[in-house]
């Protein structure tokens, strides 16, 4: 029978320990976790991008509910443990849950230190430790105003940046003369302070807080020198303390933290401590890399091993978009130390290495940090650098007197060189996982090793390792840049467009350092789509950045002529519409008329110069573009449903028309085809579409992620809803989720596979607030959607090429 393992706390350290444990000995323990937070495990070092708007909570989840179910873990959410009974080997939570254990792991983390000045208990005084803190900050930030951050350490500056990104004015108060004084020397601190000032963040150093002002909520602060700063929020980022009271109450040995030995065992042989609450050899670690190293040791001990943790050397990186900073070790000045310094004022680069007895004991890099991992490895190993001292500051690629190929430099790294500092992943781990599991994509490597899955600064190194390991077998298509104009992939470009609030194509190319002046046929359409989707009320669609088919509302054919497809709502037409089409066919001598697979009529063989007149005549008859060419909604295929069919259960035709009229004119990452079938016989072929509906007696079964082109794939079931209104809301929300998250030209089935079908179901079917938010954002974007009343065409404007559809109100599009 499996032993009982109980874990108090569900942070990153116990999460990593469980991953190692399940890999070494699946089924060895019956695992129960008590989590004080009401949620699953997430990446806490990514709270700063969540605060700044660059990521969402869903993006930083490490283990979702399915992971716990798969591994048979019982997770008690919102269950803070209040007592440990060592004699009976049980733990009890505040909400009355008691669990017995054979082995217990305490991973209670740390508590933020709140300066006990007058006013520190006012509403609006916040710490910065978990997602609850971030959500409170975002709530206050909706009113804009000013945020005051006390403490210019790592967390304080990340909080300041995030709140600035949310539109608040931000002032940082710091007691010491320079910011991040524990991680930076004065020169690097100067450069960082200058960069933050350029981003609109005010920093006041050598300032001490006397009181927080306000009656019912925060209204500002008063400094010791008498200055008063108005504000709506005060964020305390002045340090943390190990959360060790629970262990102390249970009679375990506690100093500053819970005392553990080299096997992470406490003074009780059945109880272990892990993470920020643990004290090892007199040190409590607050960075994730040492916590992961100790987690691996604990997993080994829990499986009967004898691994030992001997402490860690740590490094620091600041998670502020556009600022590259790395520091490690001891860089204080002393008579027995030497330094090597490189400055490039024009490029904003500063590098300083501190040496003692020909060994690196400290490193500070600002502006150019690619060699941080190499310097850090030399420092951890105490490598004698005498032979490379003359070229050391120029980095690994220049050792030997000449620049090496960067790939050769990566190949020269030892297996134990740290590649991913956020997650403590070394080169050997990445290489062995690639070969052992047959991985060929960056997403695969991230999923199995966590390397580059957090801040992403090491992505280039990981990709180089993949190239070295796989050789010609490595196909970097999924992670390569958008095109030769940039080094960035689609995901990074889209994230930075939002984070930097870039609202024009020139702005994107300038701020993201495009290699070409105007982009190319690959990147311009993608950038145009991302900007249309992200800033619907502010960005002016650049029709010159669209493909020719989208510009002229027609499909170019191999002989140079065009085909035109008028929109027929749900595949339904009338005699007057058919007569109008026939008149256009005769008038322009169109050589071929064909019914399409989407239940519409295609007019083929039209000369480009006739297109304006063809559309003018069709527009007079009430036709609008069917967008058969577009990266957008194309068709909603329907069957006749209950009105005519003896098997029909619902009005499939009416629902299809309603969906199409509600959604038309909205651009999407790739073409979007829908279908509604009136019964499970599925005459409209809804189970191979991007989104499909099967009408059943009890309501509407929604499907998604099908394909019937180069790839053949049946749909996944999203879920069952009872009414047409619910069906419309769920379909629109799903479409908006796809619009916001997919890469340009990525079909729904590929996007869904990449992010997970279960995650889509969770957000659309289970999370009402999130579903409604997606729906509302779609409605908002439709106010500015490119739907087309054809006024310009009928009046004779745009004789040669058509602009994308002109602006009309949402109500017109939805009627």
CATH number at residue 581: 3.90.480.10
Residue 405: is its pLDDT beyond 70?
Answer: no
Per-residue confidence band for 457, with pLDDT thresholds at 50, 70 and 90: low
Are the C-beta atoms of 709 and 725 separated by less than 8 Å? no
Whether 464 maps to a domain, the answer reads: no
Are the C-beta atoms of 295 and 13 separated by less than 8 Å? yes
Query: Tell me, what's the pLDDT at 246?
Result: 97
Per-residue confidence band for 804, with pLDDT thresholds at 50, 70 and 90: very low
Residues 223 and 274 in one domain: no
Residue 398: is its pLDDT beyond 60?
Answer: yes
Q: How far apart are CA 79 and CA 744, in angstroms?
A: 42
Whether 497 maps to a domain, the answer reads: yes
Residue 808: is its pLDDT beyond 80?
Answer: no
Per-residue confidence band for 456, with pLDDT thresholds at 50, 70 and 90: low
- Sheet with 146-150, strands from edge to edge, namely 125-126, 233-236, 146-150, 169-173, 201-204
Query: Tell me, what's the pLDDT at 112?
Result: 93
Segment 475-519, tens digit of pLDDT = 654 456 888 888 888 888 988 888 888 889 888 888 888 888 788
Which whole-number Å values give the CA distances from 598 to 365, 615, 714, in the listed order?
A: 58, 20, 18
Closest listed residue to residue 708, CA positions, set 727, 730, 739, 684 = 684
Least confident segment among 27-31, 129-133, 206-210, 510-514: 510-514
Residues 101 and 248 in one domain: yes
Burial-class residue 23 by CB neighbours within 10 Å (0-12, 13-18, 19+): exposed
Give the helix/strand (H/E) hosting 360.
strand 359-366
Domain count, the chain: 5
Helix (H, G, I), strand (E, B) or coil at 604: strand
Query: Tell me, what's the pLDDT at 785?
Result: 67
Average confidence (pLDDT) over 589-601 = 90
Segment 193-219, tens digit of pLDDT = 999 998 899 999 999 999 999 999 999
From first CA to last CA, the distance across the chain in angstroms is: 64
Residue 318: is its pLDDT beyond 80?
Answer: no
Q: How far apart are CA 577 and CA 601, in angstroms?
A: 11
Residue 746: is its pLDDT beyond 60?
Answer: yes
Percent of the chain with pLDDT over 70: 93
Query: Tell me, what's the pLDDT at 475?
Result: 62
Count of beta carbons in the 10 Å neighbourhood of residue 643: 12
Residues 251 and 298 in one domain: yes
Query: Tell me, what's the pLDDT at 425?
Result: 84
Query: Tell me, what's the pLDDT at 802?
Result: 33
Query: Tell me, what's the pLDDT at 400?
Result: 60
Residue 596: is its pLDDT beyond 60?
Answer: yes
Last residue of a domain, one of 620, 651, 675: 620
Whether 795 maps to a domain, the answer reads: no
Residues 770 and 655 in one domain: yes
798 vs 454, residue with greater confidence: 454
Residues 604 and 647 in one domain: no
Query: Tell me, what's the pLDDT at 170?
Result: 97
Which whole-number Å values give the CA distances from 431 to 300, 316, 380, 464, 494, in the listed order?
A: 21, 24, 21, 11, 29
Query: Tell me, what's the pLDDT at 248?
Result: 97
Segment 43-102, tens digit of pLDDT = 988 898 899 888 888 888 999 999 999 999 999 999 999 999 999 999 999 999 999 999
Whether 429 maps to a domain, the answer reads: no
617 vs 794, residue with greater confidence: 617
720 vs 414, residue with greater confidence: 720
Q: How far apart are CA 754 and CA 739, in angstroms?
A: 14
Residue 321: is its pLDDT beyond 90?
Answer: no
Whether 356 maps to a domain, the answer reads: no
Per-residue confidence band for 132, with pLDDT thresholds at 50, 70 and 90: very high
Whether 522 maps to a domain, the answer reads: yes
Residue 386: is its pLDDT beyond 50?
Answer: yes
Residues 640 and 770 in one domain: yes
Last residue of a domain, one of 192, 218, 238: 238
Whether 400 maps to a domain, the answer reads: no
Q: Give the β-pairing of 672-677 and 691-696.
A: parallel
Query: Tell me, what's the pLDDT at 19?
Result: 93
Residue 784: is its pLDDT beyond 80?
Answer: no
| β partners of residue 343 | 350
Tell me the two tokens of residue 261: 């030995």
**Phi/psi at 708 (5° precision):** -145, 45
Percent of the chain with pLDDT over 90: 55
Average confidence (pLDDT) over 621-633 = 86
Give the helix/strand (H/E) hosting 731.
helix 724-741
Residues 190 and 295 in one domain: no
Per-residue confidence band for 312, with pLDDT thresholds at 50, 70 and 90: confident
Query: Tell me, what's the pLDDT at 413?
Result: 78
Whether 445 maps to a domain, the answer reads: no
Count of beta carbons in the 10 Å neighbourhood of residue 579: 11
242 vs 756, residue with greater confidence: 242
Residues 711 and 564 in one domain: no
Last residue of a domain, one of 504, 522, 545: 545
Query: Tell me, what's the pLDDT at 480?
Result: 64
Average confidence (pLDDT) over 13-29 = 94
Per-residue confidence band for 258, with pLDDT thresholds at 50, 70 and 90: very high
Per-residue confidence band for 810, with pLDDT thresholds at 50, 70 and 90: very low
Query: Tell me, what's the pLDDT at 18?
Result: 97
Residues 232 and 251 in one domain: no
Residues 778 and 640 in one domain: yes
Residue 787: is its pLDDT beyond 80?
Answer: no
Segment 136-159, tens digit of pLDDT = 999 999 999 999 999 999 899 999
Query: Tell me, what's the pLDDT at 476?
Result: 58
For the chain, the average pLDDT equals 87
DSSP 506-546: HHHHHHTT-SSSS--TTHHHHHHHHHHHH-TTT----GGGS
Residue 330: is its pLDDT beyond 90?
Answer: no
Residues 760 and 708 in one domain: yes
Residues 697 and 726 in one domain: yes
DSSP 766-794: I-HHHHHHHHHHHHHHHTT------HHHH
Query: Tell me, what's the pLDDT at 788?
Result: 43
Task: Please report, for the domain that includes residue 81, its CATH number.
Answer: 3.50.50.60
Closest listed residue to residue 228, CA positions, set 246, 205, 210 = 210
Residue 806: is its pLDDT beyond 70?
Answer: no
Where in the sequence is the domain holding 214, given as residue range(s)? 125-238
Q: Give the β-pairing of 233-236 and 125-126.
A: parallel
Give the helix/strand (H/E) hosting 554.
none
Are the C-beta atoms of 665 and 703 separated by less than 8 Å? no
**Phi/psi at 498 (5° precision):** -75, -45
Average confidence (pLDDT) over 635-642 = 91
Which whole-number Å values give the CA distances from 104 to 249, 278, 806, in the listed order?
A: 15, 14, 64
Place of tokens 């002002």: 213
Segment 521-567, tens digit of pLDDT = 889 999 999 999 999 888 888 877 787 777 778 888 888 899 999 99
Query: Tell me, what's the pLDDT at 550?
Result: 79
Per-residue confidence band for 727, with pLDDT thresholds at 50, 70 and 90: very high
């Amino acid at each position: 029978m499996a032993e009982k393992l109980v874990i108090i706390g569900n942070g990153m350290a116990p999460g990593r320990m469980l991953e190692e444990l399940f890999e070494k000995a699946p089924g060895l323990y019956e695992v129960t976790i008590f989590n004080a937070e009401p949620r699953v495990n997430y990446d806490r070092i990514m709270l700063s991008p969540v605060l700044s708007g660059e990521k969402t909570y869903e993006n930083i989840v490490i283990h979702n509910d399915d992971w716990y179910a798969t591994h048979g873990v019982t997770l008690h959410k919102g269950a803070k443990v209040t007592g440990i009974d060592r004699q009976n080997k049980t733990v009890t939570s505040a909400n009355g849950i008691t669990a017995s254990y054979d082995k217990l792991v305490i991973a209670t983390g740390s508590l933020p230190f709140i300066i006990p000045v007058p006013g520190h208990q006012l509403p609006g005084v916040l710490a910065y430790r978990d997602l609850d803190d971030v959500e409170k900050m975002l709530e206050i930030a909706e009113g804009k105003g000013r945020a005051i951050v006390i403490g210019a350490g790592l967390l304080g500056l990340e909080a300041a940046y995030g709140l600035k990104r949310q539109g608040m004015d931000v002032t940082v108060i710091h007691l010491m003369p320079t910011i991040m004084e524990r991680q930076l020397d004065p020169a690097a601190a100067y450069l960082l302070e200058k960069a933050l000032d350029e981003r609109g963040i005010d920093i006041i150093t050598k300032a001490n807080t006397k009181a927080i002002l306000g009656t019912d909520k925060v209204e500002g602060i008063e400094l010791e020198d008498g200055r008063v700063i108005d504000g709506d929020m005060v964020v305390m980022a002045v340090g943390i303390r190990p959360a060790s009271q629970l262990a102390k109450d249970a009679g375990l040995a506690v100093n500053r933290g819970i005392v553990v030995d080299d096997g992470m065992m406490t003074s009780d042989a059945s109880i272990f401590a892990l993470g920020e609450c643990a004290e090892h050899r007199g040190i409590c670690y607050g960075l994730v890399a040492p916590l992961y190293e100790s987690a691996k040791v604990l997993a080994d001990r829990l499986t009967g091993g004898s691994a030992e943790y001997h402490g860690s050397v740590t490094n620091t990186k600041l998670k502020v978009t556009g600022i590259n900073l790395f520091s490690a070790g001891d860089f204080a000045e002393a008579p027995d130390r030497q330094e090597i310094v490189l400055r490039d004022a024009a490029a904003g680069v500063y590098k300083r290495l501190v040496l003692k007895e020909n060994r690196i004991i400290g490193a500070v890099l600002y502006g150019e940090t690619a060699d941080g991992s190499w310097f850090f490895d030399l420092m951890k190993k105490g490598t004698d650098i005498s032979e490379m001292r003359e070229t050391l500051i120029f980095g690994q690629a220049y050792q030997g007197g000449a620049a090496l190929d960067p790939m050769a430099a990566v190949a020269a790294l030892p297996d134990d060189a740290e590649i991913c500092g956020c997650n403590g992943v070394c080169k050997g781990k990445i290489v062995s996982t690639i070969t052992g599991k047959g991985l060929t994509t960056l997403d695969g490597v991230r999923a199995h090793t966590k390397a580059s899955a957090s801040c992403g600064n090491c992505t280039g190194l990981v990709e180089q390792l993949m190239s070295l390991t796989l050789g010609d077998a490595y196909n970097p298509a999924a992670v390569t840049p958008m095109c030769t104009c940039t080094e960035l992939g689609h995901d990074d470009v889209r994230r930075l467009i939002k984070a930097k609030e870039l609202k024009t194509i020139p702005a994107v190319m300038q701020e993201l350092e495009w290699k070409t002046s105007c982009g190319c046929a690959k990147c311009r359409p993608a950038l145009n789509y991302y900007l249309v989707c992200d800033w619907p009320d502010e960005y002016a669609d650049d029709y010159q950045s669209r493909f020719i088919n989208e510009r002229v509302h027609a499909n170019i054919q191999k002989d140079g002529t065009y085909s035109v497809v008028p929109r027929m709502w749900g595949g339904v037409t009338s005699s007057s519409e058919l007569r109008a089409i026939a008149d256009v066919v005769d008038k322009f001598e169109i050589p071929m008329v064909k019914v399409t697979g989407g239940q519409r009529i295609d007019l083929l063989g039209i000369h480009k110069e006739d297109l304006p007149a063809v559309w003018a005549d069709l527009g007079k008859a009430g036709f609008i573009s069917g967008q058969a060419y577009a990266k957008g909604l194309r068709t909603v295929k329907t069957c006749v449903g209950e009105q005519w069919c003896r098997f029909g259960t619902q009005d499939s035709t009416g629902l299809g028309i309603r969906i199409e009229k509600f959604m038309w004119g909205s651009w999407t990452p790739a073409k979007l085809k829908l279908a509604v079938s009136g019964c499970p016989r599925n005459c409209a072929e809804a189970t191979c579409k991007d989104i499909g509906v099967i009408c059943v007696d009890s309501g509407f079964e929604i499907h998604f992620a099908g394909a019937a082109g180069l790839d053949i794939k049946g749909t996944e079931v999203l879920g069952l809803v009872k009414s047409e209104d619910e069906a419309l809301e769920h379909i629109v929300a799903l479409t908006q989720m796809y619009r916001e998250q997919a890469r340009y030209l990525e079909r729904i089935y590929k996007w869904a596979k990449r992010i997970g079908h279960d995650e889509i179901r969770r957000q659309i079917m289970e999370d009402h607030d999130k579903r409604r938010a997606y729906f509302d954002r779609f409605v908002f974007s439709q106010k500015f959607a490119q739907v087309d009343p054809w006024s310009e065409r009928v009046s004779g404007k745009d004789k040669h090429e058509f602009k994308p559809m002109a602006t009309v109100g949402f109500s017109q599009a939805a009627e």
